[in-house]
């Protein structure tokens, strides 16, 4: 069994049925070989664990531990509470306008101190990647993310710090963001117990996948809005940035047999009854009563409350908060350079494309349509430099299949970006500085703040498909759809 498959061990009993499915139906994409298709079948089968009670789900996730290879050193750490306290102080100021729709328990962590792990090789330089794990906000740990963090440590010669973020539904928004901020403060302003000197933000790259990608965008927006030092850049993998589920690819029937994510509001059901789920229902009811009493006037749309609450991470009324759904932020300008990678057959494809265009062109893409238009008064009008890479035929989770050529290509490009963006001494970085010279050709358009491309399974690049841009004209952005 290859190291890349350790996270699949609990579902090995499904192996024979997955093989049978391959031979009877064949892979949904011609480019998928047996190994890739079997792996995706196992990942899809793995979704059955999300129907478990939360207690069991989170314990199962804790067992998905990637073994440490001989060339990697891993160091577990527990952060002093001062980092969370500082994070809470910063967050309270920016979230005051939203407090009527938030569960205040996020300020009172009841599950212990913030922990995490460092991963690095003997060749590691002074670059640090802060990695925020995915898991739909409800499961996963830094140890589940090792498939990715170890690749960054090896290929980018970086030290990688991955915190264990608080999970929903026990800890709702902004608990995970609070922990992400605390981890960043730990890096740039460590206490004497940390054992290292403050790390120059220009040597830090943020990264995360799926819900972790959401948190990377949210952290960037928070740091910008709070006036705190920004990192050198970000590598964001298949980010989930629209918790309203409003984009067309989320509901595409063509992806039913391809992607591991389901077309369902909230992606997953609550799961079997358990003490945690019972407590969640009580908490959700109390928050709903509070919202009904306060009658908050924050940005929202009638569609938010036309359906029952469907995200365990936050109330429906909070869906348009930019730190919840970064795609809906008024402006994604004035952020450090971003590399965003997404599969061409992911349900999250459209939101990844839109948020990339929006960051690179903040004046042109001011969304959603129901939001108050205050862009002219915004201090964040400067375009963010963005590289968008859409990988042909790839479903959600494809980065984890490190034996595959697209995953290898993606990690090489991530590592190259990390090295480039942390080698620039000033803020005058250009798009040409951010990409390999052999990628710049007459066949690919490079704009001052944007470089978008399709990458096939052999690594050949071309312009985006015309259909990729259809989502830019979507007239229901940020509007919760009625499930069909």
Residues taking part in catalysis: 210
Would you list the DSSP string of 13-35? GGHHHHHHHHHHH--SSTT--HH
In this structure, are residues 159 and 77 in contact, taking their beta carbons and an 8 Å threshold? no
Under a CB-based contact definition with an 8 Å cutoff, are residues 411 and 402 in contact?
A: yes
Residue ranges of alpha helices (H) inside 262-325 are: 275-294
Residue 410, SS3 per DSSP: helix
User: Rounded to the nearest 5°, which phi and psi values hold at 365?
Assistant: -115, 80
d(Cα 432, Cα 455) in Å, to the nearest integer? 18
Cβ-in-10-Å burial (0-12, 13-18, 19+) of 24 comes to exposed
d(CA 281, CA 270): 10
Omega cis (within 30) before 326? no
Contacts of 201 (CB under 8 A, 6+ apart): 188, 229, 230, 231, 232
Segments of 238-381 assigned E as strands? 338-343
Q: What whole-number distance in Å separates Cα of residue 161 and Cα of residue 146?
A: 11
Are 48 and 272 a contacting pair, CB within 8 Å? no
Pure H helices in 318-434: 349-360, 405-421, 431-434
């Amino acid at each position: 069994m290859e190291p890349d498959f350790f996270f699949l061990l609990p579902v090995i009993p499904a192996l024979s049925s997955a093989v049978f499915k391959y031979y009877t139906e064949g892979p949904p994409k011609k480019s998928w070989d047996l190994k890739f298709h079997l792996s995706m079948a196992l990942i899809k089968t793995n979704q059955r664990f999300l129907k478990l009670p939360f207690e069991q789900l989170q314990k199962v996730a804790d067992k998905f531990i990637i073994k440490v290879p001989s060339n990697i050193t891993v160091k577990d750490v527990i952060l002093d509470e001062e980092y969370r306290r500082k994070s809470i102080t910063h967050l309270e100021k920016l979230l005051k306008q939203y407090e009527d729709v938030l569960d205040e328990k996020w300020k009172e962590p009841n599950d212990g101190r913030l922990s995490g792990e460092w991963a690095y090789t003997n060749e590691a330089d002074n670059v640090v990647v802060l990695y925020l794990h995915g898991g739909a906000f409800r499961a996963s740990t830094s140890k589940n993310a090792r498939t990715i963090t170890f690749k960054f440590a090896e290929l980018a010669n970086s030290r990688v710090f991955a915190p264990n973020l608080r999970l929903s539904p026990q800890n709702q928004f902004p608990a995970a963001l609070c922990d992400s901020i605390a981890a960043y403060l730990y890096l740039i302003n460590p206490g004497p117990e940390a054992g290292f000197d403050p790390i120059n933000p220009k040597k830090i790259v943020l990264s995360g996948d799926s819900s972790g990608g959401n948190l990377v965008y949210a952290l960037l927006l928070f740091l910008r809005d709070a006036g705190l030092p920004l990192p050198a850049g970000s590598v964001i993998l298949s980010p989930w940035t629209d918790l309203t589920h409003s984009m067309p690819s989320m509901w595409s029937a063509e992806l039913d047999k391809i992607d591991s994510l389901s077309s369902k509001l909230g992606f997953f059901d609550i799961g079997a009854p358990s003490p945690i789920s019972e407590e969640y229902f009580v908490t959700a009811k109390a928050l709903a009563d509070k919202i009904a009493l306060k009658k908050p006037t924050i940005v929202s749309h009638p569609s938010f409350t036309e359906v029952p609450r469907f995200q365990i991470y936050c109330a429906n009324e909070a869906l348009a908060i930019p730190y919840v759904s970064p795609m809906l932020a008024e402006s994604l300008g004035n952020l450090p350079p971003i590399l965003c990678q997404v599969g061409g057959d992911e349900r999250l494809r459209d939101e990844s494309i839109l948020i990339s265009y929006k960051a690179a062109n903040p004046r042109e893409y001011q969304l959603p349509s129901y939001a108050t238009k205050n862009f002219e008064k915004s201090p964040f009008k400067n375009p963010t430099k963005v590289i968008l890479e859409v990988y042909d035929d790839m479903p959600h989770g494809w980065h984890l299949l490190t034996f595959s050529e697209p995953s290898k290509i993606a990690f090489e490009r991530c590592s190259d970006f990390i090295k480039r963006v942390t080698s620039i001494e000033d803020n005058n970085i250009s798009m040409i500085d951010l990409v390999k010279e052999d990628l710049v050709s007459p066949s690919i358009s490079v704009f001052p703040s944007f470089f978008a491309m399709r990458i096939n399974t052999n690594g050949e690049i071309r312009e985006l498909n015309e259909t990729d841009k259809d989502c830019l004209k979507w007239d229901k952005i940020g509007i919760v759809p009625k499930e069909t």
